[in-house]
Amino acid sequence: MKLLTANRLTDGLVLWYADGQWVEDAAIATHLEDAAGEALKAEWAARETEVVAPYLIPVTDDGTPVQRELVREFVRANGPTIGQTTFDTAKQFKRDEVFQ
């Protein structure tokens, strides 16, 4: 399974693909079968006025990115881990941190 992620062109914010649209909250990202993920990545790579550099993240059975991607994607999904709560994506969405 994979997650599809990118940055939005206009403001660079981290986006996650969820049920046919892009959202800022990783907690609701769609888990994609490998082939479907590849097809969506190719489709969105061509739509450059919307997102920049979409890529797939392999996830384990519990939906967490595989170990080699984990820290980076944890930071992308939850915001900088430097204690400045105004940047904390998890708090913004009133949820626990994802990808623990």
Distance set, CA 19 to CA 8, 28, 75, 80, 88 (Å): 17, 9, 23, 26, 24
Q: With binding defined as CB under 8 A, does residue 43 bind another protein?
A: no
Distance of CA 24 to the CA centre of its chain: 8
**Cα–Cα distance measured from residue 77 to residue 95, given in angstroms and rounded to the nearest whole number:** 12
Nearer to another protein, 68 or 94 (CB): 68
Q: By CB under 8 A, how many residues form the interface with another protein?
A: 28
Looking only at residues 64 through 93 of this chain, which bind another protein when binding is defined by CB under 8 A? 66-72, 75-76, 79-84, 86-87
Cβ atoms of 7 and 53 within 8 Å: the answer is: yes
Q: Which of 52, 64, 95, 97 binds another protein (CB under 8 A)?
A: 52
**Residues lying near another protein in the complex (CB under 8 A):** 7, 9-14, 48-49, 52-53, 66-72, 75-76, 79-84, 86-87
